[in-house]
Amino acid sequence: MPVSGSRRDWLLSTVLLALAWPRLAPAQDASSGLGEAPPAIGRALRFGVLPIGGTLDSRNDWAPLLADLERSLKHPVTMLSANSYEALAGAIARDEVDMAFLSGRMALEAVTRRGMRVVAQVTRHDGLPGYRAILLARAQGPRSTLDELMADPDSWRLARGEKQSLSGFIVPQLEFFAPHQIAMETRFASEIVGTHQRIALAVANGEADLATSNTADFERFTLQFPVEAARLHVLWASELIPHGQIVVRSSFDARLRMAVQDFLAGYGRGESELADRQRRVLKALHDLAGFLAADNRSLLGAARIAYRHARQQALEAQWINEAARQARLDRIEAEYAAQVKLLTAE
């Protein structure tokens, strides 16, 4: 039967997307089942993943869950495993990502500036509503204690996360370095910037003396690299940071957003062989307990942290006069008020 022009164009675009974005392997058993498939959007759904460990690790960890999502939605799902926070943020800004797993600061940016909305938040087995930023040092040898760090930070070599990372940069600066008058970006003898896995290895292997990390990623690091983890210990831990979120495009049909949310909230729940298999997937995926249905209000904690960080930077910066400083502080207050209004809107 001949194919119409519009149908031919749709088929061609689908083929091109399949070539450009690596497809996930289909799940080997039944999906969680959501009844009728949600309306298709004419192309594969593109899921972006933060580089928690290495890029390949992130891809391998998420692939089974996304394959299950593909079967549940009855719609193609592809994955972008970015090699940096900046790369993923750029892909979102260019509308190359439809759904993503993001930490608080990036999720806040995606929702307030990039037309996305929260549908789920991860949860862990400890039941806490978040995780803690930590500082890691070698357990033995020179430059291994908090007193030594405070006495002579200039001689320490720092390994940290990217500036968009709450636990890798923002929270350690906000809660530890700035209160102790240590300029995080200029005070140390040298600096390595990378994923939590990369910078923890840098300290364990003697390339750096101090690393930023978080409790969840250090638990995972300990399982993957037990020998290297045994060389490290925690010098400091922050207050709780809200867990990361799953965000989707606000422009999606409401039924599609709800289908994604229902799939995530039900993943690994119940007593069945399927639920048991899904729990094994979650355990491999940063040892998650699962996902909770959530909305934009789950980002209020991240917005508060970002506000405090911006205000701290404004207070510590050099200004031509006090009026300029106050103008910046006023803008920060206005931006925070606008974020809260947007996040709490119905």
DSSP 147-192: HHHHH-GGGPEEEE--TT-IIIIIHHIIIIIGGGT--TTTSSSEEE
User: Does some domain include residue 82?
Assistant: yes
265: in domain: yes
Give me the domain span that covers residue 54: 30-127+243-294
Same domain, 233 and 249: no
| Per-residue pLDDT, 74 | 92
pLDDT at 32: 39
In 75-140, at which residue ranges do the beta strands (DSSP E only) sit?
77-81, 99-102, 116-124, 130-138
Give the range among 7-11, 133-137, 188-192 with minimum mean pLDDT: 7-11
Mean pLDDT of 328-339: 96
329 versus 42: the higher-pLDDT residue is: 329
> Residue 129 has what pLDDT?
82
What phi, psi does 218 have (nearest 5°)?
-70, -35
H or E segment to which residue 212 belongs: strand 210-214
- Residue 237 and residue 290 in one domain: no
- Domain final position from 241, 264, 286: 241
| Count of domains for the chain | 3
Residue 41 pLDDT > 90: no
Q: What is the pLDDT of residue 196?
A: 87
Clarify whether residues 123 and 253 are in a common domain: yes
Q: What is the pLDDT of residue 51?
A: 67
pLDDT score of 8: 43
Position 58: which residue type? Answer: S
Tell me the pLDDT band of 82, cut-offs 50, 70 and 90: confident
Query: Would 114 be classed as within a structural domain?
Result: yes
Rounded-to-integer distance, Cα 315 and Cα 326, Å: 9
**Do 180 and 258 have their domain in common?**
no
Answer whether residue 23 shows pLDDT above 90: no
Same domain, 190 and 260: no
* Whether residue 116 is found in the same domain as residue 253: yes
Question: Tell me: the pLDDT tens digits for 252-303?
Answer: 989 999 999 999 999 999 999 999 999 999 988 877 889 999 999 999 999 9
Do 328 and 311 reside in the same domain of the chain? yes
- Residue 327 reports pLDDT greater than 90: yes
Instruction: Indicate the residue among 276, 294, 312 that finishes a domain.
Output: 294
Final residue of a structural domain among 277, 294, 311: 294
Residue 17 banded pLDDT, cuts 50, 70, 90: very low
118 and 248 fall within a common domain: yes
Task: Check whether residue 145 and residue 282 sit in a common domain.
Answer: no
139 and 186 assigned to the same domain:
yes
Assigned domain for 219 exists = yes
Q: Domain check: are 120 and 252 in the same one? A: yes
pTM of the predicted model as reported, rounded to 2 decimal places: 0.79
pLDDT at 28: 35
How large is the average pLDDT for residues 66-71?
Answer: 95
Q: How open is the CA angle 81-213-306, to the nearest 5 degrees?
A: 80
Assigned domain for 13 exists:
no
Tokens of 16: 């091109």
Work out the mean pLDDT of the chain and round it to a whole number: 85
Q: What is the pLDDT of residues 150-185, one digit of tens each?
A: 999 999 999 999 888 899 999 999 999 999 999 898
> What's the average model confidence in pLDDT over 133-159?
95
Asked whether residue 60 falls in the same domain as residue 103, the answer is yes
Q: What pLDDT, on the 0 to 100 scale, is given for residue 30?
A: 33
Task: Assess if residue 9 is contained within a domain.
Answer: no
Q: Is residue 74 part of a domain?
A: yes
Yes or no: say if 68 and 31 are a contact pair by the CB < 8 Å rule: yes
pLDDT band at 346 (very low <50, low <70, confident <90, very high): low
Angle 251-256-27 (CA atoms, 0-180°, nearest 5)?
130
Instruction: Indicate which CATH number applies to the domain containing 47.
Output: 3.40.190.10
Q: Report the pLDDT averaged over residues 91-101.
A: 94
* Domain membership flag for residue 72: yes
Judged against a pLDDT cut of 60, whether residue 6 lies above it is answered with: no
